[in-house]
Structure 1
Amino acid sequence: MKTHRIAFAVSGSIMSIFFLALVNYLTSPGVVWFIHPAFALIQWPVALYFAGSGRIKAYSVATTVLIIAYLAYQNITETPGYPWILYAGFAIVWWPILMYAGRFAGTLAMALIGSFCIIIYYGMLNLLLSPQFPWIIFPAYAVLWWPMSIYFVRTRQWFSFALCASLLSSALFITVNAITSPEEIWAIYPIFAVVWWPLSMYFFVKKPAV
């Protein structure tokens, strides 16, 4: 029964893609638009074959390959002058990486390794492809929450978590202020709001009962 479902999905996808390609050729041959619904239709038999049999890890690899191939095609055909696939592709491959990592994916070591790799990779892209503005500070700020959250939540150091998170956020505001508008000091305003987190943790959690 399962084989019949997969065969039906494969034949249905092929027929649908052929029909859409024919309509595309007859109505608007100058624009290849059938590739977009074709990408979605291919997911039907792929999902049935891998996910239906419980092979979720293999499914993540197959789907990741399809997504990267689709985005690469879009990059080459639509905007060949700028390789934006390098930004999206690296983020997408973390799905199968984390799937195959298993229990290690939830460890502090994995968070540290992953954060380091992401910061280095996108930092190199920033340096090589768009050195005009150091936008790496934004993904770096976001990804540093990964190991920081795992460490402090597991050790249940809530005040230290709030303090480090506030310092990290303040560092981001100061850096952006210094880069974008050094003539006007506006970072003090969001920093003033952020510091209330550790202050409230101290007075309502750390403060001994009277």
Structure 2
Amino acid sequence: MRNHRVAFAVSGSLMSIFFLILVNYLTTPGEIWFVHPAFALIQWPIALYFAGTGRIKAYSAASTAVILLYLAYQNVVHSPDYPWMLYAGFAVIWWPILMYAGRFAGTLAMAFAGSFCIILYYGMLNVLLSPQFPWIVFPAYAVLWWPMSIYFARTRQWFAFALCGSLLTSALFIVVNAISSPNDVWAIYPIFAVVWWPLSMYYFVVKKRTV
């Protein structure tokens, strides 16, 4: 029964894609648009073949390969002068990486390794492709929460988590302020709001235990 459903999905997808190609050629031959619905239709038999049999890891790899091909096509056809696919592609491949990592995906070591790889990769793209502005500070700020959250959640050090999170956020505001508008000191205003997080944790959690 499962093989029949996969065969039906494959044949249905191929016939639908052929019909879309025909309509595309007859109505708007100067614009290739059938690729977009074809990308969605291909996911149907892939999902039935892999996910339907419980092979979720293989499904993530196969689906990621299709997504990367679709992104590469869009990049080459619509904007060949700038390789934006390098930005999106690296984010997409983390799905199968984390799936194949298994239990290791939730470890602190994986969080540190993943954060380091992400910061290094996008930092290199920042330097090589768009050195005009150091935008790496934004993804770096985001991914640093990954190992920090795992560590403090396991040790249950909530006040230390609030303190480190506030320091990290304050550092982001200071760096962005220094980069974007060094003559106008505005970082103090959001930092003032951020420091209330560790202060509230201290006075209502830590201080309460000592009373």
TM more than 0.5: yes
- Give the aligned partner of residue 113 of structure 2: 113
- In 2, the alpha carbon distance for the partners of 1:164 and 1:2 equals 51
| CA positional deviation for 1:77 | 0.1
- In 2, the alpha carbon distance for the partners of 1:188 and 1:209 equals 31
Is the counterpart of residue 98 in structure 1 residue 98 in structure 2?
Answer: yes
Unaligned runs of 5+ in 2: none
Q: How does 1:48-197 map to 2 (within 5 A)?
A: 48-197=48-197
Aligned-pair identity (%): 80
- In 2, the alpha carbon distance for the partners of 1:144 and 1:3 equals 45
- Give the aligned partner of residue 38 of structure 1: 38
| CA positional deviation for 1:29 | 0.5
Unaligned runs of 5+ in 1: none
- Give the aligned partner of residue 28 of structure 2: 28
SS of residue in 2 equivalent to 1:144: helix
User: Which 4+ residue blocks in structure 1 deviate beyond 6 angstroms?
Assistant: none
What residue identity is the alignment partner of 2:127? L
- In 1, the alpha carbon distance for the partners of 2:9 and 2:152 equals 47
Deviations 1:66-114 (A, max 9, x none): 0000000000000000000000000000000000000000000000000
- Tell me the TM-score normalised to structure 1 length: 0.99
- In 1, the alpha carbon distance for the partners of 2:64 and 2:6 equals 20
| CA positional deviation for 1:209 | 4.8
- In 1, the alpha carbon distance for the partners of 2:7 and 2:107 equals 40
| CA positional deviation for 1:3 | 0.8
SS of residue in 2 equivalent to 1:185: coil
What residue identity is the alignment partner of 1:178? A
| CA positional deviation for 1:65 | 0.2
- In 2, the alpha carbon distance for the partners of 1:53 and 1:129 equals 42
- In 1, the alpha carbon distance for the partners of 2:203 and 2:188 equals 22
- In 1, the alpha carbon distance for the partners of 2:75 and 2:210 equals 61
Deviations 1:19-50 (A, max 9, x none): 00000000000000000000000000000000
Instruction: Supply the RMSD in Å over aligned alpha carbons.
Output: 0.6
- Give the aligned partner of residue 198 of structure 2: 198
What residue identity is the alignment partner of 1:132? Q
- In 2, the alpha carbon distance for the partners of 1:153 and 1:10 equals 45
- In 1, the alpha carbon distance for the partners of 2:124 and 2:210 equals 51
Question: What is the total number of aligned residue pairs between the two structures?
Answer: 210
- In 2, the alpha carbon distance for the partners of 1:142 and 1:200 equals 23
- In 1, the alpha carbon distance for the partners of 2:200 and 2:39 equals 50
- In 2, the alpha carbon distance for the partners of 1:139 and 1:209 equals 38
- In 2, the alpha carbon distance for the partners of 1:171 and 1:73 equals 39
- Tell me the TM-score normalised to structure 2 length: 0.99
